[in-house]
Amino acid sequence: MSTLLAPASVGPRRGIRSAGNCLALPEARWNSRFLKATRGEAVDRTPIWLMRQAGRYMQHYRGIRAGTSFLDLCKDPARATEVTVFAQEWLGVDAAIIFSDILVVLQALGMPLEFVGGEGPHLPQPIRGPSDVDALRDPLQAAADLDYVYQAIRQTSAALAPDIPLIGFCGAPFTLASYALEGGSSRQFAKTKAFMYREPDAWHRLSARLAATCAHYLNHQVAAGASCLQIFDSWVGNLTRDDFREFVAPHLATLVSHVVDGVPVILFGTNTGHLIDLIRDCGADVVGLDGTVELGDARDLLGTQVAVQGNLDPTLLFAPQDRLAAATRDVLAQNAGRPGHIFNLAHGVLKETDPEQARYLVELVHGG
């Protein structure tokens, strides 16, 4: 395939600090609390946003969503913009993240995709063997077909306050491959790992195609107005360190290395406490931390050249306010004032969450 990308050697890419504001972002956005923190610069207050901050837990979202499928909402730039901007403003968080789903990339690569009410994604024609990998569409074409995402980003970037950056995102090659192979969510990833171990050549071809598609996709998002990118390797925590090194790291590093200069990249996955140094070495500017690691320990391990994001357990939003406040203070105390901390949950907001509790959390973090 002519549109695949040259592989990167695994290791940190050129720092975002040295690139400067080569995107010519408005001054207020470039110097926003959030983007400064991604670059490890000093900030007045710890910035915070929440993974899945626009979602089913919010009445506003449920109103906009009513009568529409999840996927149709993703494909409607006006309404995607509306839920994205509303969540940022209502919560008072320091960044917005475009409302979308990581699986639109698989659909653009030619895989049928449906969301069956409440049960999560279903891919009725999963990848069964190497020939299915080679039958996927071309990365450049797939990325070009996701224009509805770029439209939503353009509209959202314009609608947000000047000092609020918009985060674009995609799934990482491993996590996308797991959906493509399992046909949906999984607990054990039996099909994914069987394919990885038995068909390593096809695995690497699949991962390379996903990395190429996502690199084009992310750079289109930047061109449309995203000024930070998060790569969700949601399920990679199911791998051992050895398997991460062999089957994941080269492709993740390639993807990150092809993101345009000056745009910070956040790498995040759940249950990745045992992988965070390897994730950093794939070129992350910010390592997303989940609940399997204490933030202070993570910072000690990762060193001063990388920022971190996290990591309050989202179920603490179910707790009484005094417990929520104590746990929030503990996360902040673990960071101990080091620059380069973005407050977030350890994973996405749960649908059972009281929105007022989420807003209270934002106040707590901003209050310091």
Size, binding site for its own copies by CB under 8 A = 33
CB 354 to its own copies: min, Å: 10
CB atoms within 10 A of CB 326: 11
| Pairing between β-strand 121-122 and β-strand 166-171 as defined by DSSP bridges | unpaired
Stretch in the footprint of its own copies (CB under 8 A) among 65-73, 102-110, 189-197, 248-256: 189-197
Q: Is 241 in the active site?
A: no
The site map against its own copies for 289-328 (x = CB under 8 A) is --xxxx------------------xxxx-xxx--x---x-
Measured in whole angstroms, the distance separating CA 241 from the mean position of its chain's CA atoms is: 21
CB 104 to its own copies: min, Å: 22
Q: How far apart are CA 80 and CA 77, in angstroms?
A: 5
Please give the DSSP secondary-structure letter assigned to residue 5: P
Give the one residue of 254, 271, 309, 344 binding its own copies; rule: CB under 8 A. Answer: 271
* Catalytic option among 179, 209, 217, 285: 179
CB 145 to its own copies: min, Å: 31
Is residue 56 within 8 Å of 62, Cβ to Cβ? yes
Instruction: Kindly write down the DSSP assignment for every residue of 27-60, as one continuous string.
Output: HHHHTSHHHHHHTT---SS--B--TT-SSTTSHH
Q: Which is nearer to its own copies, 12 or 273 (CB)?
A: 273
Please give the DSSP secondary-structure letter assigned to residue 214: H
Give the one residue of 164, 239, 267, 306 binding its own copies; rule: CB under 8 A. Answer: 239
How many helices (H) and strands (E) would you count in the chain?
19, 9
DSSP 3-state assignment of 347? coil
Q: Is 140 in the site for its own copies (CB under 8 A)?
A: no
* Catalytic option among 101, 233, 285, 290: 101
Please give the DSSP secondary-structure letter assigned to residue 247: I
Residues interacting with its own copies, by CB under 8 A? 188-190, 193-194, 197-198, 237-243, 271, 273-274, 291-294, 313-316, 318-320, 323, 327, 330, 350, 352
